[in-house]
Amino acid sequence: MKAWRLAVIVITASTLIMVGGALLIVWLASRYQGPSDVREWVIESDTMSPTLKPDDVLVARKMDPFALKRGMIVTFRNEKGDVGVSRIAGLPGDRIELRHGVVIVNGKESLKHGVGLGPSSGGVELYLSVEQFPGEQGAHQIAEHAYDSIPEVTVGPGRVFMLDDNRYAWMNRYRSAQYSGLPGPQTIRAAAITGRGDDISIATKGDRAGQALDLPASAVGQ
């Protein structure tokens, strides 16, 4: 089967592409290889940086969209068939908020500590932290600029709450949606999830080929 690529749509201030209530800003290209339950997706933005960087190839394996756990990196489709990638922070029925940069789920704070300077995003210098959601098996890195807050929400039935690892970019989209009165980037339908991220199979420079997506739980030790 020939490789194929999704059309890339330029998002301007007047053009918002909505995905089941979430803004789609990660564009991926798919290359079908091997079993039908495995796909490779080329990352085309920095919204999941530092975990996934532009030109990384994400291996995603087909999964039951209702066998979901906090901390999973998943791919999902909107009604038009466009594909995005993000990380699950909240499950149906969860109460979730962001308080001064700390994700709180059902009243329990995520573990988090800073590890230094990270990459810039849109010319803004970001800071790296290691984070572990309540109930997450491992840990992951995030990039942020400020310790932001959003009010507590309850995740609706059949939906999941998504947070990108580039928390700075995610917060910008959240504020834009709040200002415009449009649905924000935070929740999608669980049934729209198509696969779970397995590893980074190929990186531009090859130095991260086959690297695991996330960190062991011990990485978040205070």
**Which pLDDT does position 32 carry in this prediction?**
45
**Which pLDDT does position 207 carry in this prediction?**
65
Q: Domains of the chain, with CATH numbers?
A: 4-220 (2.10.109.10)
Average pLDDT of adjacent 10-residue blocks, the chain of 222 residues: 29 31 40 63 88 87 85 83 89 96 97 87 88 94 91 94 93 86 77 84 62 77 59
Q: What is the CA radius of gyration of the chain?
A: 16
> Cα separation of 31 and 28, whole Å?
10
Q: C-alpha distances in angstroms, 184 versus 38, 56, 178?
A: 30, 26, 7
Instruction: State the maximum Cα–Cα separation within the chain, in Å, rounded to a whole number.
Output: 48
User: Which structure tokens are listed for 62?
Assistant: 């087909």
Q: Do residues 97 and 152 touch, judged by C-beta distance below 8 A? A: yes
> Model pTM?
0.80
Amino acid present at 6: L
